[in-house]
Every structure is written in structure tokens, then in C-alpha cells.
A and B are shown apart, each in its own frame.
Chain A
Amino acid sequence: MRAIAIVGLVIVCFLFSYLVPLNQAVSEDTKACLRCHGIGTLKKPLDTGESISLFIDGKRFEKSAHGALDCSSCHPGINLKNHPKPKKVTSKKDYIKEFSPNCLNCHPKNALMKPAVHGEIVKKGEIYCSQCHGSHYISSMKEWKNKVSFTEYCMSCHKFDISKTLPSKEKISLKVNEQEIKKSVHGKFQCLVCHDDFSKVKHPIYNFKDKKQYRTEMTKICTKCHTDKELQKNPAHYALSKTASCIECHGYHGVKPAKVVKAMPENQYCLSCHSRAISKKMKNGETLSVQVKESDILSSAHKKLKCTECHKEFSTTQHPIRVFESIADYRAKAKDICNNCHQDAVKKYDKSIHAEALKKGNQQSPECLKCHDYHKVAFITKDKRASSDLCIKCHADSGKAFKDSVHQQAIEQGKQNAPNCASCHNSHDVLPTNIAKLGDSCAKCHKDVKTSHNKWLWNPPVRLTSFVDAHFNSASCASCHTKVEKAILLTLVDRAKGKPIKEEEVAKALNVDTKAIKGKIDQNGDGKVQEQELWQFMSSMKSKTNANLAGRIDVLNPNDAHKIEPKNKSIKDCAYCHNPNASFKAKLEVNKEGDKPIKFEVDSKALNAAYAIPNIKDFYVLGLTKIKILDVLFFLALLGGIAVPIGHITLRILTAPIRRKRREGK
């Protein structure tokens, strides 16, 4: 049946072909083709539902730039005798793709690549020759350029799905929706009104690094008409225009009048701008995103709040322009917003090592936002691991150490009372570990800790908990409940005031800069404070202050304090510490205001020196910190005690004859 239909069609074509009026200029070959392809209804339906018209308007073709060419020039190998059988075409685009290379027969690729923009399109192969130039009715480019409007000229390529990949690997679409422009506030504009560096003969190529630069540069186009003066009428909008690109809110070509209806719900009003990728510039040049994702707010603990409940100075009528030195400055001030409701937490935070570090310029140190996020303020989680993970983000070493602990095991076993970081260190008032009284933190959970220790830790004949206290006061819990290296820590204190002497006070007493303290203590700079150096330092301090050294036993590496062992593995042997052989290292700590102390390794022999008596008045561990010179005195005294009788007896033996004679003389 199909064969009959084709033969029938060919016959019909022949009969009709003689009716088609053709100019004599058209070659015989072309005429032959047009006998069939001149029939207006001739088309080929595709499987995709599209259909390709096979009709060629002979007259129009004749007038085209290719009017004098034979069909076989572009469709080589096809003539009446050798017409391909119905071709399987999957889609229009594939058809175009297949036939476009035929153009290259006459238009060599080299020539096409010469104009840079054209070359780029040819190279990328996103669109094909016939898509821009047409297929059978191609007019001369020169004529066409003269004839078409600017917009038509631009759109001839930009109506297609063309794109550009930036060095940042970001892809930007160069497709322009003409209808969108027509509907926009710029509907009557020709492309060149905005893109005035382009023309029918000029097509500059921009080399944007990334999308951000692209947006920023493109925004400059807007300012040609929308001048600073005009924008300054609305300060918030003006400030925004200095950091955000216009297109962020107003779109690219379909420029919308971005008037926000003030009557809309407040959060929606704010989000009209802030839902977009807008940012704010800090004085130091840093850029802060002020984009707010609505989904973040809705999933947050603050989902029921209005924007202005936190951002009190803002409203649908007020949008003050705030100035910040830097992102750090902004983040620090953001705390004031939290303080509106969370005064207690902020007050505690202000005392913390984190607040102090931030004040001193440590950008890594957290403020409210670093832990609680901006708008995605999380609900307080009961997942102990999740809340610890927050700390571990910065304190990775501590997290690693904690992993080995009995406490981590408890968390993993899902025990309700298992501790996480905040259980000991607090969440807001995180203090330097040397003043945080972490022993008290242990006692928060281990409430019967005194009585339980007192079962074995007591001195006969009376079982007193004060004996436990004596140990708790001079050794950290981790000293016995971890298996790591221990040390004697000597903290510089004002004995009269009972407070640590801080770095600044040391500097003042020694009459040096805080940075020079190290050199004043470790004078030979060998990284270890020798006995003599320690006593010299103490002597200089004591001449100005009531300096003394408070001692305690703790883990050598503070991080190891996280490695708490199960109860049955803790140290119960008194001689672990009370032993002259216990080789504990010694460290000197000089406290810093709200920060970790400066630590120096000290020759532990210092603790056994006579100088320790006036300098370490309130710390003494039987056996461990004994004053060695007293041992020598003990042996000398024993020798003396023995020597007296021996000497006396010897004299008595030697003088025995005298006594005998005297008795006899009597």
C-alpha cells in the first residue's frame, strides 16, 4: 500500500508541477525538485508529533541569496532519479542538526569562526545555521541587517536557548524572552537602549569571572537611567542598590516595577526583598548576605515571630541604614537583638571565654549566631550528640577525646542523664577550664560523689567527708578518672586575696609588656622553667605582690580530661600520687582575663626544693612534693642520735680506769 501511495504521489507531483510558475533563472534541476516540493501541503509528520513542511516556495527561494543555486548544492546526491526513500527523522532539531553541516560546503568553518561571537556559537553548536539564517529563503546578511530592527537583529540569535559558561563553571542563559520584555516596564525599548555597547556591527564579549560579577556589571546598565540621585529618594533601596544587583529583585529583561504593597503581612513585606540574594557591604569591604529564606524561619523556633519583633527598629515604613565595621562587628551586635528576649543567656554569654575571645579579635569564636544561626534558630534539641556536634565543629580534638569516654558510651546507649559538652562546660557561660570549677560540674550529676568517695577515701579513726574535700580541692576528677599523663599545675595567685594573678598584673609587676612575660619567666628560653628561673620569677613577683603558687593535680593535656574512664577503671591507689617515684610533670599557669592561661613547663624538681616552702605555701602532697633537704636532715639527725651514745660510751670505756682508780683510792 505504501509503495502505491508513493508512486501515486510522484505522478500527482508531475501533473501539478507544470502548473507551478517559475522564473527562468531557476535551474532545471531545481525545477525538477519543485515539481513535488512546490506543493504547499507537502509535509512530513514526525513521531514526536511535530511535522516538517517539505514545501518550498519557489518564488521566495528564487529571490533568496541562494536563488541561483541548484538544490543539489545544499542537498548533495539528491535528484529526481536518486531521491532518498522516506527518511526516518526523530525530531525537527535532529533534522536541523543533520542538514546544517551542508552549509559548510560553501561556507568554510574557518570563515564562520572569524567573527568572535559567531565563532563562539558555531563552536558550541547550541544552535545551527538554519535556526538563525533560515533554510531556503536566506537573504543577504547585508540586506537583512539594514532591513531588520535592532531588536529583531538581536533576537535572531538570543531567542534561542543559548548559554555561556563562566570560568566559575556557572552557566548563564543568554536566551531572551521577547514577550517578557514587551510586557515589562521597558516594553517599548529596543535592546540597544540598555545594551548600548552593542549594535548590528558590534558585539562585545564580556569575560565575567562568575555570576556575581555578571550581575554586578549588568546592574551598572540600570544606573545609566536610574541615577544615584533618583535612587537616594529611598535610602533603603539606595543602600540595597549599592550591594545587591538590580536584577536580583527586578529581573533581567522582564523588568517589573518592584513596588511592594505595604498592606501585605509584615513578614511577606520584608521578604519581598530579603528573600532574594541581596547582600550588605561592611566598612572593611566584607560582604554579608542579608537574604532570608522563608523556609528557614518557618522551620525555626521563631516561626511565630514577626520580623520586627527582633528587628525592632524596622517596619513597613522604617528601614534604617545600619553601618558595621565588619562582619564580626555585625555578628557581635546581633547579640543585642537576641538580648531583647534572651537576657539571661546573653548575660551568661558575656562572661564566657567565647565573648572574651571575640572581643580580642578571634573571628572563630562564636556569638549567638554561630551556634543558633541567623533565622534558622533551632529548637533546643534533646539529641545530646547533635548539640555536642555543634561544639565539636570547632573543638574537634575535644570531640575526639570525648569519644573514648564513659560519657560518650552513655550517650550512645541513649541514657537520659548522659552528659554532653554543655553539661560540664555550660552552654552560654563557657568559662576557661582553669576557673570553670569543672569539678562542680561533675558533682551536678554525681550528686553523692562525696559520700561514695568517703566509703574508701578517709583517714582513720573518723570517716569525714572533709578528707574527700581535701582531695577534691587539690586534684581534678580527671586526675583519678582518666588513664592519661598527669601533672602538677602551679597557678600564680595572690595569696592574700585568694585570686589568680593575671597576665596584665604580672606584666605590671615585672614592668614589661605582656608579650615579654615569657622571656622573664623562662629566661634561658629553653622552653622549660628551671628551678632557679622559677624562684627568681617568684622573688620578683613577691617584691611587688603577695604572689604565691597554688597547686593542683590534673591531667597534663587538658583535652585528656574528656577521656573519663568507667568507674571500675579509675585510680584508687593512694600511692599513685603519694609516692616520691610518681613522675608527674609540672606546669606553671599564669591566668589571662577570660581566656586560657599561659602555661610553662616547669622542672618538677622545684616542688621538692626548700624554696617551695615559701613559694608554694598551700600545696603539699605527702610523698610527692616532699622537701628533699629534710630527708638529708633526718639521716643526719639519726646519725647524730646514734653518734652521741657511741661517743659517750667510748669515752666511758676509755675513762673506766680513772673511775676504777678513784674507787680503789677511796
Chain B
Amino acid sequence: MKKVYLHPLPIRIWHWINALGFIILIITGAQIRFGDAMGLMSFETAVDIHSWLGFILLANYFIWLLYYLFTGKIFRLYIPPFWKPIEYIKSSIRQAKYYGYGIMVGDKNPHHPTPDSKFNPMQQISYLMIMALLIPIQIITGLILWDPQLFSSLAKLFGGIQIVSLIHTGLWIFFSAFIIVHFYLATLGHTPMAHIKAMFTGYEEEHDEH
């Protein structure tokens, strides 16, 4: 068993703040939306928490962005090798096959994470989409909803506050589902806690059996 240092400290900090923030944002978002059915807190409290956390996660996003930009790892880790598309698609299919079939029959995970390639091809495309597109969009739409007057010109660019809200709600739905699947996938290490532990310690244990 060898240990690989996958998650540098800033990324771990970012991740856990993000994780907690996401969960609370999803819940307060639900409270704002389902004021009639949910009674966790008042509308005002839900909005206050949601707004504070929104800004915290906005700042947090920059921890991730700046860290990976300064270390230059952002491209290596997140950009799929579009110059080798066939190979990339093949490896993606291989990875999907692993999760859908191989993992059941005891195949080895085709992806072996290293500090320079910590994501398997499916993770890579997913996180690229999430980090480069969905989170920024959620932040921007969130900002518009936070102060529709201040960001009225941005709202216009989106096609109106109604569309902004549609996007923000749509992504809230997506992230709600994503976070459940994400948590489950995190338990698919060589032990259920392996990946989660790694997210605390930074070191992923590469198990021979896996």
C-alpha cells in the first residue's frame, strides 16, 4: 500500500468549507422556496444565512481558483486531453464500465490517482463543468438574486430575473442530487472511508487490491 499526496491543504480547506456551505445553501434555499411547508427557520433567517454563505463560498471559490492557477495545476487536473479525444473517450467508457460493472465483479479501478492526475476521466469532465461553469453561474445568478437592482444589467444579459431564477433553481436541483451521488462515490474507495479520510489528511492510500 502506498500513499499518494492528492489533496494539498488549501484544497482540503476549500473542499470542506464548500461541502458544508453547499449543504447549508441547499437547505436554506429549500426553506426560502418552501416557506409554506418547511419550518426550520424564518424566511428572513434563511435569506440571511443563504446570503452570508453565498459570499463565503464566493470567496472560497477563489481559494480553489487562485491555488490552482498559481500552481498551474488547473489545466493539468481539470482539462481533459481533448487533443487525444479517442483515448479520452475510451478511458471514460472504461471508467464508466468499472463503476457500472467492474466494481461488482472485483475489477481494479482503471484510474490510479497521482498528484498530477487525481481525477478519472469522468470526474475530470464533471469537475471541469462544475468548477468552471456551474459554480460560477450559480454564484453570478445568486448575486443577481441577492440584489436584483445592483445587478440589473447582468439580469438583462441572462434574459431577465425569471431566467436567472430558473438557472439558480435548476442548479440548486442539480447540486442537491449531485451532492448525494458525490458523497456515495466518495465511499467507493478501497474502504468506505478511504477517500473521505484522504480529504482530511491529503493522502490517498493506493490499495493493491483495488
Contact = CB atoms under 8 A, between A and B. Distances in A.
Tell me whether A and B are bound partners.
yes
B52 A461 contact: yes
A630 B162 contact: no
Q: Main secondary structure on chain A at its contact with chain B? A: helix
Interface stretch (B32-40, B65-73, B121-129, B197-205): B32-40
B149 A575 contact: no
Interface in B175-201: 176-181, 183-184
Contacts of A470: 147-150
Most chain A beta-carbon contacts within 10 A, residue among B55, B99, B146: B146
B176 A634 contact: yes
A480 to B, nearest CB: 15
B103 interface: yes
A173 interface: no
A623 B162 contact: no
Contacts of A663: 106
Contacts of B44: 574-575
Q: Main secondary structure on chain B at its contact with chain A? A: helix
Nearest to A646: B184
A459 B172 CA distance: 20
B47 interface: yes
B208 to A, nearest CB: 12
B147 A630 contact: no
A619 interface: yes
Nearest to B183: A645
Interface in A344-372: none
A165 interface: no
Contacts of A638: 176-177, 180
Contacts, number: 131
Interface string B140-177: 00000111111000010001111111100110111011
Contact of B160 (A617, A622, A631, A652): A617
Contacts of A447: none
Contacts of A651: 104
Most chain B beta-carbon contacts within 10 A, residue among A578, A616, A634, A652: A634
A511 interface: no
Contacts of A645: 180-181, 183-184
Most chain B beta-carbon contacts within 10 A, residue among A466, A470, A575, A633: A470
Interface residues of A, number: 47
Name the interface size band of chain B: 35 or more
Contact of B172 (A473, A581, A620, A634): A634
Nearest to B178: A641
B150 A464 contact: yes
A435 interface: no
B42 interface: yes
B149 A469 contact: yes
Contacts of A461: 51-52, 55
A658 interface: yes
A460 B33 CA distance: 18
Contacts of A622: 32-33, 47, 145
18 contacts: A459-B51, A460-B48, A470-B147, A470-B149, A574-B43, A579-B35, A580-B37, A617-B161, A619-B162, A622-B33, A623-B35, A631-B34, A634-B169, A634-B172, A645-B180, A648-B184, A651-B104, A659-B106
Interface of A: 459-461, 464, 466-467, 469-470, 473, 574-575, 578-581, 612-613, 616-620, 622-623, 626-627, 630-631, 633-634, 637-638, 640-642, 644-645, 648-649, 651-652, 654-655, 658-659, 662-663
Across the A-B interface, the 5 shortest Cβ-Cβ residue pairs: A617-B160, A641-B180, A645-B184, A641-B177, A655-B104
